[in-house]
Amino acid sequence: MNERTEVDDLQLVGLRNSPHERNLCVREILVPTDLTAESRKAIAYAASLAKAWNAHLTLLHVYKEPHSLEYMRGPNVCAARERQRQYTKNALELLGKRAKEEYDNCSTEFREGALYEEIANSVKEVQADLMIISTRGNKWFQRVAYGCDTDAIVRLSPCPVLVVH
């Protein structure tokens, strides 16, 4: 009977007694969310891993003004834009509150700006050891026409990324 241990597995992949072995500890998990049902699956998965590793969990939302507001005209434009921004911020805080019910060592972060830049900046600032993101399935036409945020995030991330389908 041949039972392998975790140390044997590390040795198999060449990590035992190497400088990379000490980097296997996960203390901070970052979950960028677009506040959709798909991203809630990634949050649940991240909370489960954070519990197992006793890691801190940060939920990140990068706000982008909806197209419907970009072209608004009139006297109430600023108020409508601020209401939408506040609504999104409140939605993130509610999501964070629900995540805290599942796992207490959790926080939220709300940013505005270019998606990839803000995610990369957040990874560096919170010193994330792992990023967990969701993907919305394989809508091939949309991917060909517009690209895919998940693909770009995985390629540009300064830390390992786990993609939850």
- pLDDT tens per residue, range 87-119: 999 999 999 999 999 899 999 999 998 888 899
Strand order across the 161-164 sheet: 106-112, 56-63, 28-32, 130-134, 161-164
Please, which pLDDT band fits residue 25 given cuts at 50, 70 and 90? Answer: confident
pLDDT at residue 121 tops 80: yes
What is the percent of the chain where pLDDT is above 90?
44
Contacts of residue 19, defined as CB under 8 A and 6 or more positions apart, other chains included, come to none
What is the percent of the chain where pLDDT is above 70?
70
The residues spanned by each domain of the chain are 22-164
- In CATH terms, the fold of domain 22-164 is Rossmann fold (3.40.50)
Please, which pLDDT band fits residue 74 given cuts at 50, 70 and 90? Answer: low
Mean pLDDT for all residues in the chain: 79
Kindly state the average pLDDT of the residues 64-81: 70
Q: Which range has the worst mean pLDDT, 42-46, 50-54, 114-118, 129-133?
A: 114-118
Residue 134's DSSP bridge partners are: 164
Query: Global pTM?
Result: 0.76
pLDDT at residue 46 tops 90: yes
Contacts of residue 119, defined as CB under 8 A and 6 or more positions apart, other chains included, come to 30, 32, 60, 62, 131, 153, 157
Please, which pLDDT band fits residue 157 given cuts at 50, 70 and 90? Answer: confident
**Strand 28-32 relative to strand 56-63, pairing:** parallel
pLDDT at 59: 97
